[in-house]
Amino acid sequence: MQTILTFKKMESYVETFNQNDYELYRQYIPNEQAKDWMRSCIPLFECPDQEVEEIYYFRWWTFRKHIKNTPDGFVITEFLPPVPWAGKHNTIGCAAAHHFREGRWLHDSRYIEDYARFWLRRGGEVRTRIQNNRGYSFWIADSLLAFAKVTGRFDLCVELLPDLIINYEAWEGGQRDANGLYWQRDDRDGMECSISGRLAPRQLGYRATINSYMYGDALAIAEIADLAGDIGNAQRFRRRGEEIKRLTQQQLWDDEACFFKVLPRTDQPKLCDVRELHGYTPWYFNLPDSDKSVAWEQLMDTKGFFAPFGPTTAEQRHRDFAVSYMRNGCQWNGPGWPFSTAVTLTGLANLLTDYPPTTMTRKDYFKVLKIYTRSHRLKLDDGREVPWIDESLNPFSGDWLTRTAQKMALGTAAVGWSDGAASAEKGQERGKDYNHSTYCDLIINGLLGLRPQGNDRLMVAPLIPDDWDYFCIDHIRYHDRKLAIVYDKTGQKYRRGKGLILYCDGKKIASRETLSRIEVGLP
């Protein structure tokens, strides 16, 4: 089938990425195979903003580095070098849901199918942890269902339904208290050294994160149970989801601050006095009622979370807000973290697409997305800037904070790090090509508005900025078809007509002359 976009531009980006790269760690698909792999596996994308376009391809190029072929099938890693806190095959559950969200758009579904079976049946952390120590938070049922809604095949979800229920009930048995809420330690949420963690005894708290994850998983299990004809579990998990939604809004929402906060796990708990970026996590799963949407005003407030290379992970007005290089580089008390930025942007796309209108607009979405895009840079010793993804950021300068803190700790042993050429003698370049967030999914699902459905329908609701005259996302695998989404304001760019046009297997199936939502059945 003929595509609208050619591979030429993508290949040019890959050649540049390879030239600028010092390939420290090679896994299943090394750099010399990156071009061929991307030709066969990813959707093609074109837009007027070259930086957004470049980072879209860069993030696929880095994601590919983390695909690892093991005796247990394919897995996706978070760090390329081995780290002592990882589990089997150097896997870590913390960012695994992001791997599912990003990887669901790949044309080869083996990677995510194997990865799902690994976590639930082949030694992944969620199955092997003892009941009262479940490890890192991980919304696996929601992630697996999100993958299935892209492929259009739900057999794997149904196959793994018993395992998903076992995993859910283990969390419930070990980390749910009599008040009905789930608790977690801030570092097991992947958010160590946080302000709320310091304020809560032993860093334990009822957090909007874990409760949202359990809500999302409950509804996903209910939907999968419906598909399996298991009406009892469908009803049971739907009730659980409704209860978590009610309790999260009743007990974790601060009416005065208009924000979801952490409730310390104590006999006489009181909400922590800090707004933290993870308070937007409930919108990732469409948990909050519409009256809670006022919380989003903090995202664009410079005393809240807004910063030149933000958003910040804690509100800047708080007395304990800090951006420090002097302690553990993994700090969530102020620095920007791509993990949380990705969750926030996913939640904001849901707000703009699924909720009644608020003061937030698609202009705000693109502004934060553009800041996130701009953060994907590293300045080399020779003055060149290259695309880069790492751990945490200084939200005011764009410096990769965790990386700089590690270099400072190594001293002279870190010479050469700015060109990405670390070695065993110079110290490990741990955060290079860090796979702890999404970006491509934020483009496809958020900015371009392809919203996967559980039935054979296609919904597109773009959030693109007003000054874009065109975009095209092509070579998309969706429900075993190949899609293309084209927007051409004048009709002169692609010469296929004006407006928003949807193609399925090369045939036009819907269009709008204006940039507005389209819902259509698949042929």
Give dist(CA 59, CA 440) in Å, integer.
7
Inform me whether the pLDDT recorded for 451 exceeds 50. yes
DSSP string, 112-123: HHHHHHHHHHSS
Distance CA 211, CA 243 (A): 11
Q: What is the mean predicted confidence (pLDDT) over 53-78?
A: 98
pLDDT of 381: 81
What residues pair up with 478 in beta bridges, in sequence order?
481
Average pLDDT of span 296-325: 97
**Range 150-159 average pLDDT:** 97
d(Cα 5, Cα 12) in Å, to the nearest integer? 14
Neighbour-count burial of 180, counting CB atoms closer than 10 A to its CB (0-12 exposed, 13-18 middle, 19+ buried): middle
CB 399 within 8 A of CB 325: no
The whole-angstrom separation of Cα 508 and Cα 485 is 10
Residue 362 contacts residue 445 (beta carbons within 8 Å): no
Q: Worst-scoring range by mean pLDDT, 49-63, 81-95, 162-176, 416-430?
A: 416-430
**Residue 348 carries which side chain, given as an amino acid letter?**
L
Contact call for residues 77 and 91 (beta carbons, < 8 A): yes
> Mind listing the pLDDT tens digit for each residue in 248-278?
999 999 999 999 999 999 988 899 999 999 9
Burial 59-70 (b: 16+ CB within 10 A, else e): bbbbbbbbbbeb
Residue count (the chain)? 523
Residue 75 — very low, low, confident or very high, per pLDDT cuts 50/70/90? very high
pLDDT at position 327 is: 67
Confidence at residue 408, expressed as pLDDT on a 0 to 100 scale: 85
CA distances from 286 to 41, 203, 245, 251, 504 (A): 30, 27, 10, 17, 29
pLDDT of res. 2 = 64
Instruction: Give the pLDDT band (50/70/90) at residue 132.
Output: very low
Choice among 54-58, 62-66, 158-162, 403-407 with the minimum mean pLDDT: 403-407
Residue 126: strand, helix, or coil: helix
Could you tell me if residue 479 is left (phi over 0), alpha (psi between -120 and 50 degrees) or otherwise beta? left
| Mean pLDDT to the nearest integer, 297-315 | 98
pLDDT tens track for 484-501? 999 999 999 999 999 999
- SS3 category, 247: helix
pLDDT confidence of 410, banded at 50, 70, 90?
confident
Residue 39 near residue 396, CB atoms below 8 Å: no
Angle at 131 between CA 125 and CA 135, to 5 degrees: 40
Average pLDDT of the residues in 153-182: 95
> Is 483 within 8 Å of 510 (Cβ atoms)?
no
Q: Note the pTM of the prediction, 2 decimals.
A: 0.96
- Residue 422 and residue 433: Cα distance in Å, rounded? 13
- Chain segment 344-365, per-residue pLDDT in tens: 999 999 999 999 999 999 999 9
| Better-scored residue on pLDDT, 126 or 165 | 165
Digit-coded pLDDT (tens) for 418-439: 777 666 556 678 899 999 999 9
Q: What's the whole-number mean pLDDT along residues 440-454?
A: 97
Cα torsion through 178, 181, 185, 186, rounded to 10: -160
Residue 130 has pLDDT above 50, yes or no: no
Q: In what order do the strands lie in the sheet with 263-264?
A: 183-185, 204-206, 263-264
pLDDT in tens, 88-115: 999 999 999 999 999 999 999 999 999 9
Is the pLDDT score of 134 beyond 80?
no
Q: What are phi and psi of 78, to 5 degrees?
A: -95, -50
Can you give the pLDDT at residue 24?
86
Res. 343: pLDDT tops 90: yes
- What is d(CA 5, CA 56) in angstroms, rounded to the nearest whole number? 15
Do β-strands 481-488 and 470-478 pair in parallel, antiparallel, or remain unpaired? antiparallel
d(CA 350, CA 365): 11
Mean pLDDT value across the chain: 94
A 10 A CB-CB count for 205 gives 30
Maximum C-alpha span of the chain: 67
d(CA 38, CA 42): 5
Q: Who has greater pLDDT, 146 or 422?
A: 146
Q: What's the mean pLDDT in 379-384?
A: 86
